[in-house]
Every structure is written in C-alpha cells, then in structure tokens.
Amino acid sequence: MDIQSYIESGILERYCLGELSAQEMQSVELYCRTHPEIEKEITVVKQALQNYSATMAMAPPPGLQNKIWDTIANLEKEKELDLNDLPEISRFSDHRKWLGLVKPFIPLDLQEDRIIKLLRQSEKIIQMLVVSRTDFDSEVHVHEQESFIILDGECECTVGEDIFRLQAGGYTEIPLHTPHDVRIISPYVVAILQRVAV
C-alpha cells in the first residue's frame, strides 16, 4: 500500500467529515491501527477542520435567541388559542387553528365590502380579523412591522417590486418603508392582520 497516495486521496478528510460509508469508515480505522502515519494525518485534518470552523464561525445577530424563544412560546400558545391571550402570528402559524378561532365572527352571508374586528391591542401589537371583498390600496409603514396570514380565499400582493399570490395558509411580512397593496382574487379573503411597533 502506498501510504502517501492514500493520505493524498482525500479519503481522510471525508472520514473526518463523516462522509464515508460504514464499510469505508471501518477500512480507514483498520489502516489507522496498522499505519501510525495515517492516524497522525487524521489528527492533523481534524485540527485543520476545527481551525477552519473557528475562523469561519459567525456570531448570530443580536436578539436572535430571544426571537427563537418568542416563536416557540407563540407556537405553544397556538396549540390552544385563546382570544384573551393571543400569540403573534408568524410563518409557522397554523391558519386552520386561527380560522377555527375567528369563525364565529365571519358572517355566513357577507354583505359589506369589508369587516374588521379588533382581536388584540396593546402598545406593542395590534391584531385584527379582516374579511374583505375589496382591494387594499397602496400604503407604507415606518413605525409598524406589518404581517398577515390568509385564512381563506386568495389575493395578489405587490410589495415593492415583487408580486406574488397568497392563499389559505400563506403568510407574508412587509418590510418597513416599502409600498404594498393587496388585490382580492377570490370572492373574498379572510385574514389575520398584525402590526407590531418597532
């Protein structure tokens, strides 16, 4: 066996990265026991990978951990939705649970062009049930992060230069300072609209 060729083949790097099959791993480990220079090279490769990882590591943005914990807490609240203690909506929200919660507020025979029911309001957050047969004109928010989740129906959203469709379960966040409008495609749309102060 040509030890140097084996070392230069890249198999030891793949071994250290866990990319080999079980049989290939066993083969490398057998060679380690019989060829100390292979074992030494594996130590060098592992150290190089650790150094590379430390060099390339990036600290998460400030507040990310709190955002993750908040998302988990909101998803826990969603398991048993309560009008008196509503979670914030997010892209992970279950639109079916929200639709079940607000169904009593949706008229069976919608006569008005738009119904808005306030569900939650504090200094930080406003959440509303919106049932609309009419489009929403362009607007821009500078102090509130707006997001919404579609519970029923379909709409076309224009956010800045992007145009996309949302249907039941679709969620979007509107970036600050970005013009946006919504065109109703189905006979009506049912949504939860959320604005969070920033």
Backbone φ and ψ for 138, nearest 5 degrees, come out as: -60, 140
In a domain? residue 62? no
* 129 HSE (CA, 13 A, CB side): 20
93 & 152 share domain: yes
Q: Is the pLDDT of residue 65 over 90?
A: no
pLDDT at residue 172, rounded to an integer: 96
pLDDT at residue 153, rounded to an integer: 97
- Residue 121: both structure tokens together: 């309001």
Q: Is the pLDDT of residue 101 over 90?
A: yes
Residue 37: domain span: 3-56
Q: Is the pLDDT of residue 88 over 80?
A: yes
Provide the pLDDT confidence category of residue 128 given band limits of 50, 70 and 90.
very high
Q: Is the pLDDT of residue 1 over 80?
A: no
Task: Give whichever of 13-22, 45-54, 73-82, 189-198 has the largest mean pLDDT.
Answer: 189-198
In a domain? residue 78? no
115 & 188 share domain: yes
Tell me the whole-structure pTM to 2 decimals: 0.69
Quote the DSSP letter at residue 18.
T
39 & 115 share domain: no
pLDDT at residue 188, rounded to an integer: 95
Q: Is the pLDDT of residue 194 over 90?
A: yes
47 & 125 share domain: no
The better pLDDT of the pair 111, 194 is held by 194
118 & 185 share domain: yes
pLDDT at residue 59, rounded to an integer: 82
92 & 173 share domain: yes
Average pLDDT score, the chain: 92
Q: What percent of the chain lies above the pLDDT cut of 90?
A: 72
In a domain? residue 172? yes
Last residue of a domain, one of 56, 78, 97: 56
Q: Is the pLDDT of residue 110 over 90?
A: no
Question: Number of folded domains in the chain?
Answer: 2
In a domain? residue 105? yes
pLDDT at residue 70, rounded to an integer: 85
93 & 190 share domain: yes
Rounded (5°) CA angle 194-195-196: 120
In a domain? residue 74? no
pLDDT at residue 79, rounded to an integer: 87
127 & 170 share domain: yes
Q: What is the CATH number of the domain that holds 93?
A: 2.60.120.10
Residue whose tokens read 């066993």: 26
In angstroms, the CA 164 to CA 173 distance is 13
Least confident of 45-49, 71-75, 87-91: 71-75
